[in-house]
Amino acid sequence: MKKASILMIIGVSFLLGLFNFPLWNIVLGAPQYPEPLGMNIHIDGIRDMNEFDLQNIDGLNHYIGMRKLPKPEEMWEFSVFPMVIGGMIILGILVGLLGFLGKVDYKWFIGWFMIMSILGVLGMYDFNAWMVDYGTNLDPNAIMKLANPDGTPMSYKPPLFGHAKMLNFDVTSLPATGAWMMFTGMMLTIIAFFIGKSAKKATVKKHVVTAIKVKTNDK
Amino acid sequence: MKKYRYSITTLLVLALVVASCGDQNGKASSNGALSSSAAEKVYVAPGEQDEFYAFLSGGYSGNLTVYGLPSGRMFKEIPVFSQFPTSGYGYSEETKPMLNTSYGFVPWDDLHHPDISQTNGELDGRWIFVNGNNTPRIGRVNLSTFETEEIIEIPNSAGNHSSSFITENTEYVVAGTRFSVPVPQRDMPINEYKGNFKGALTFISVEPEHGRLDIKFQLLMPGFNYDLSHPGRGESHGWFFFTTYNTEEANSLMEVNSSQNDKDFIAAINWKKIEEYVNGGGGTKIPANYAHNVYDETTHTGTSTMNKEVLTVDPTKVPGAVFFLPTPKSPHGCDVDPSGQYIIGNGKLSADLTIHSFDKMLAAIEEKKFDGEAYGIPILKFEDVLAGTVKSGGLGPLHTEFDAKGNAYTTFFISSEVVKWKLGTWEVIDRKPTFYSVGHLMIPGGNSRKPFGKYVVAMNKITKDRYLPTGPEMEHSAQIYDISGEKMELIYDFPTHGEPHYAAGCPAELLAPKSKKIYRLNENKHRYAVTNPGEARVERDGNEVHIYMSTIRSHFTPDNIEGVKVGDKVYFHITNHEQDFDVPHGFSIIGQNTSELLVMPGQTKTSVWEPKQVGVWPFYCTDFCSALHQEMQGYVRVSPANSNIDLSWSLGE
């Protein structure tokens, strides 16, 4: 269980990466942008991939009537996400420590993992909802109003995952370092759960054997 | 049967492998039929970039042009000494001071000899120095912005031709006079030239960090014509060599009268010795009047200051600092090989090249083997300093550069050819015709300790039938030769701009990575900049109206201006708010008596407009900046001089 608890603490610690590395990365390349523009989505705000990228993306987006990319203070997510992640890290490390001291068992590890997964899915859902709003809720006085072949107004929601062609831009949206660190860390917590589980089984077996031995000696 | 089929397949596969190996070998060797194709050697495929930068002087265009090698594609014209309406250089309020001189505003010059800054004799790519020949000036171009940053006028000089060559750590950029003149200038009979005129050789110190120029001293030499020069390098670092002609000191019909002496001189100047003399308080300060113009990258503004004094040095007062090396027949180019041992005099009216030995020169000086003197300056014996003569069979050698393998390449103007010869043995290895009458040539790094001897560019004076005819006036032709092999190979021919007199080249990787993409708006310290559109405004100061305007795709802020009156002097201060690579905005207004402005991202430029008629006058962006470029326009309402309409300005109202 000690080994499992240490792994739990290490796994949870990987989430600290989210405070430094971007969670998601969206890259926009076009013929006249051989060096693509890009934005890094961090848990506390959207930042340039290269200096001035956000300003230049906003500059291009104004043609099609998209709002400016949100500043951290303009979206509640960017103040809540760091608190949620921070809280989960504290909780996870606490669970790991208590496991190390034998106060809680391995089931708490999977419990933490499940809460984190649910929060993750909610986060993705929220992120996607924002992108839908951002890409479809356009200024009615936009300079360029384009329609799909079926006559519906064209929308510009970036893909949540993968590549999409939007006008002259190739947009690629993929998880970035922070997300990969979170993924790795969460996998480690699952491994911690299984190690804890098998260690428990072994201990039970040992206890049973000892008990039988004691009984035999009594005879 | 099955087995047999297998073995046939195996054989086929083997054969393919062998064949493809052979193919690769064929391509790798230089004897392959494909690799000898000139077209392939110069072909830089779409999207690919050139291997070298080449900076060709524009001669009478007054500007510097940037090309790629081996493609011969022109990338940019950098305005230095001439007004350039394309960008507004010399027209905008910020750049007018750059062309200020003691003669007032001089909007043109004759730009001759670019030289790239060096460290330890190797190209370092910080700056490129150029000379204005007509109204003597030295310019410095920054090689991260590719813009002119500084111009200093050279007093007591005329025909600033043996310039702008630099010492091997860019300690000095040197400017020598081709035409000797009275120093100081005075009213005197022309035919009293002999013995009275002086030839000023000016050593301008270069501040290592920012490149700021400052005249350290002027050496007042006898009144010869100082034609070209080059620094010593390696062992001869600390010396500078100048070719001279008209040692006859003729003042009329020079083409005959200055060509009578069998030998002129190469002047060898121990500048380190003179520097010591000057640092020790030597030299004489004399009154002068010359402009020093500096462009500041953060204020985007040039300022001109007049300097009133210059330190002169009489060469006879510094013993052991100046010597004359007799050199046949009015030598033109004065070139020093990469080791610094050989000083080459290109005797333009002869068939031969004269090569002096630096070691022999030092020995002769040591032993005081002088052959008389000229105006107190010792003349060394020709035989004592001669290292060798290249008997080329060509006629009219002008200029020599070097590769890294001990070879030299000389242009022959009269016989229209480039001759390759070997340093030390002086034997001619190869010769190739040029088209036609070649002046100078350039090998990237070919006047440094580390040449990149892959291509030589020959710059010609006569074009005639090389391209489609364009009437009597044509651009000059240039040829590129591959010099990587034993024999030179003509691989390309391209027209240049103006009249290139010299060029400098360097590997692309020295400059490309540090080439600026934008100016940072948050570092813009221009006096009239607006760094956010909210600050855009119009202010009146008497009859001066200052419009603080910003641009971003695709509008001006403000774009409607009222309250301007006939007789006003209207300053449009345009700040480009883009921070995106290659998104300039232009500005022009109807009836402007000056050029447009082309404003780079983050930059501020100013144009003056003096409205003469009542009306509503449009202005617009001249650079196709976006899909809405056509919409990027505005209006200025001009009212009668006596009207009382207040200034007002707006955008989107």
Please, what are the averages of pLDDT over each run of 10 residues along chain A (219 residues)? Answer: 92 96 96 95 96 94 92 94 96 95 92 96 94 92 88 89 92 96 96 91 74 63
Interface predicted TM-score (ipTM) of this complex, two decimals: 0.84
Q: Which CATH number fits domain B521-650: 3.40.50.280, 2.60.40.420, 2.60.40.1260, 3.40.630.30?
A: 2.60.40.420
Instruction: Give me the residues paired with residue B286 across strands.
Output: B310
pLDDT, position A205: 75
The residue of A52, A54, A58, A141 whose CB has the most chain B CBs within 10 angstroms, and thus the best one to mutate to test that interface, is: A52
CA distances, B563 to each of B537, B633, B648 (Å): 13, 18, 6
For residue B58, the number of C-alpha atoms closer than 13 Å in the C-beta half-sphere is: 23
pLDDT, position B228: 97
pLDDT, position A9: 96
How close A56 comes to chain B (CA, Å)? 7
H-only helix segments in chain A? 2-13, 53-61, 77-100, 107-136, 177-218
Residue B518 in contact with partner chain A when CB distance is under 8 A: yes
Given an 8 Å threshold on Cβ–Cβ distance, is B579 in contact with A63? no
User: How far, in Å, CA of A81 to CA of B150, rounded?
Assistant: 53
Residue B102 in contact with partner chain A when CB distance is under 8 A: no
pLDDT, position B12: 46
Given an 8 Å threshold on Cβ–Cβ distance, is A143 in contact with B552? no
Burial class (CB in 10 A: 0-12, 13-18, 19+), B172: buried
Given an 8 Å threshold on Cβ–Cβ distance, is B518 in contact with A52? yes
Chain A residues close to B552, C-beta within 8 Å: 59
How far from each other are the two terminal CA atoms of chain A, in whole angstroms? 34
Of B334, B323, B332, which is closest to residue B381 (Cα–Cα)?
Answer: B323
Give the pair of three-digit tokens for residue B591.
């009836």
Given an 8 Å threshold on Cβ–Cβ distance, is A52 in contact with B580? yes
User: How far, in Å, CA of B538 to CA of B556, rounded?
Assistant: 13
Give the pair of three-digit tokens for residue B523.
């570092």
How confident is the model over B1-15, as pLDDT tens digits?
Answer: 444 555 544 444 444
Of A210, A213, A214, A192, which is closest to residue A202 (Cα–Cα)?
Answer: A210
Given an 8 Å threshold on Cβ–Cβ distance, is A52 in contact with B553? no
Given an 8 Å threshold on Cβ–Cβ distance, is A56 in contact with B552? no
**Sign of the Cα pseudo-torsion (A204, A208, A209, A211, in order):** positive
User: How far, in Å, CA of B318 to CA of B283, rounded?
Assistant: 9
Given an 8 Å threshold on Cβ–Cβ distance, is B628 in contact with A143? yes
How far from each other are the two terminal CA atoms of chain B, in whole angstroms? 90
Cβ pair B302, B292 in contact under 8 A: no
Given an 8 Å threshold on Cβ–Cβ distance, is B553 in contact with A59? yes
Using only the alpha carbons of chain B, give its radius of gyration.
Answer: 29
Chain B residues close to A55, C-beta within 8 Å: 579-580
Residue A184 in contact with partner chain B when CB distance is under 8 A: no
Residue A59 in contact with partner chain B when CB distance is under 8 A: yes
Given an 8 Å threshold on Cβ–Cβ distance, is A59 in contact with B552? yes
Q: CATH assignment of B21-50+399-516? A: 2.40.128
Residue of B nearest to A62 (CA): B553
Q: Is the peptide bond before B70 cis (omega within 30 degrees of 0)?
A: yes
Of A16, A188, A2, A177, which is closest to residue A113 (Cα–Cα)?
Answer: A188
Residue A143 in contact with partner chain B when CB distance is under 8 A: yes
Residue A52 in contact with partner chain B when CB distance is under 8 A: yes
How close A144 comes to chain B (CA, Å)? 10
pLDDT, position B453: 96
Cβ pair B549, B532 in contact under 8 A: no
Cβ pair B452, B477 in contact under 8 A: no
Question: Which segments of chain B have a pLDDT < 50?
Answer: 1-3, 8-35
> Which among A56, A143, A144 has the least Cβ separation from residue B580?
A56
Residue B272 in contact with partner chain A when CB distance is under 8 A: no
User: Where are chain B's structural domains?
Assistant: 21-50+399-516, 521-650
Residue A56 in contact with partner chain B when CB distance is under 8 A: yes
Task: Give exposure, A175-201, as e/b (b: 16+ Cβ within 10 Å).
Answer: bbebbebbeebbebbbebbebbbebee
**Sign of the Cα pseudo-torsion (A80, A86, A87, A88, in order):** positive
DSSP codes of every residue in B479-532: EEEE-SSSS-EEEEEEE-SS----EEEEEHHHHGGG------GGG---TT--SS
> Which among A35, A52, A144 has the least Cβ separation from residue B579?
A52
How close B584 comes to chain A (CA, Å)? 14
Cβ pair A168, A30 in contact under 8 A: yes
Residue B552 in contact with partner chain A when CB distance is under 8 A: yes
Given an 8 Å threshold on Cβ–Cβ distance, is B581 in contact with A59? no
Give the pair of three-digit tokens for residue B321.
């600092």
Of B436, B473, B474, B475, which is closest to residue B458 (Cα–Cα)?
Answer: B436
Give the pair of three-digit tokens for residue B239.
């010396």
Given an 8 Å threshold on Cβ–Cβ distance, is A59 in contact with B628? no
Residue B144 in contact with partner chain A when CB distance is under 8 A: no
pTM of the model: 0.90
Residue A35 in contact with partner chain B when CB distance is under 8 A: yes
How close B175 comes to chain A (CA, Å)? 42
SS3 of B329, please? Answer: coil
User: How far, in Å, CA of B581 to CA of A197, rounded?
Assistant: 58
* Phi, psi for residue B567 in degrees, rounded to 5: 95, -10
